Structure 1
């Protein structure tokens, strides 16, 4: 059973991924996200980064659909989403696609491509996703635990923590750019 706190986090991410606001996550939501990311970063259609972006979101959708779409209707409902993350947190299965997705999100937040996420990267990426600068700054301070940069290794630990922890004070909770889930 997923706690209310964890459900709030998972639903925040679900709503973020539901780009068309339909109440379900579908492949078109992932394609909209890829289009948005490519446009924000100025990646020309057909460029290597553009292709990598679309290839990654398609791979993530295919894996997500496989493990999360319990009734095989081509959509992941909110209940299916929460159930999927509860199941994944208890198993080491499907780590490959989760690791690839994590690395992709890291790359999306490392706006200057230097191999680290600093507060400038985090705030810029977070505000492009609709967050406020103030929330993003506060979240980065909690996420980075006072460090000036987050490495990929750090980010992978924080990523896992976001999806599985029940501790409201765990640093990984702030990966979304939100300082709280109240």
Structure 2
């Protein structure tokens, strides 16, 4: 059973991905999504990659394809809000699904580490989240909470924060700010 707080976080992310607001995530929403569209754009623009390069296509392989596999329980090519919440409840209890969550985490870390130094600093985080539609001020405030005042976040730290966001019921967990926003409203 997913707590009300966790459901609120998950539904915030769901609404970010449901670009046309019809209550389901479809491939077209995913392609238009600031979150994931920015990953593909970043891969192409920041890393000078094009379609066919491994990082460019990784977004769909790791995230969309796996989202359909793990979240689309009725195999209709779309993920409903209820399937989304159920998926995250299942992932929190399933070691097999955590492999996907780890790959997803590593991919997002790589996309947010804009300078490629193996860390996400405030400049990386703010720039990546501005591309996703977050204001500079909100992204900076979220990074301060996420990093707990440290100048950089390592991959190991990011993975813990990632799990906090998707799995934790603790409203004070620093990982709640991983989406670049200080709230879920």
Matches within 5 A, 1:10-159: 10-33=10-33, 35-40=37-42, 42=45, 43-46=48-51, 48=53, 51-159=54-162
2:173 aligns with 170
Q: CA RMSD in A?
A: 1.9
Q: Secondary structure at the match of 1:94?
A: helix
Instruction: Give the TM-score taking structure 2 as reference length.
Output: 0.87
2:184 aligns with 181
Report deviation, 1:45: 2.4
**In structure 2, distance between residues paired with 1:54 and 1:161:** 27
Report deviation, 1:62: 2.2
Report deviation, 1:19: 3.7
**Structure 1 pair 57–154 and aligned structure 2 pair: CA distance change class (3 A):** same
Report deviation, 1:107: 1.1
Contact residue 38 and residue 44 of structure 1 kept, 8 A = no
Q: Secondary structure at the match of 1:57?
A: helix
Report deviation, 1:18: 2.5
Q: Secondary structure at the match of 1:93?
A: helix
Report deviation, 1:35: 4.8
Task: List per-residue Cα deviations over 1:99-118 (Å, max 9, x = no partner).
Answer: 11111111111111111100
Contact residue 26 and residue 74 of structure 1 kept, 8 A = yes
Q: Secondary structure at the match of 1:117?
A: strand
Task: List per-residue Cα deviations over 1:89-134 (Å, max 9, x = no partner).
Answer: 1221212221111111111111111111000111111111001111
Contact residue 63 and residue 97 of structure 1 kept, 8 A = yes
**Structure 1 pair 80–116 and aligned structure 2 pair: CA distance change class (3 A):** same
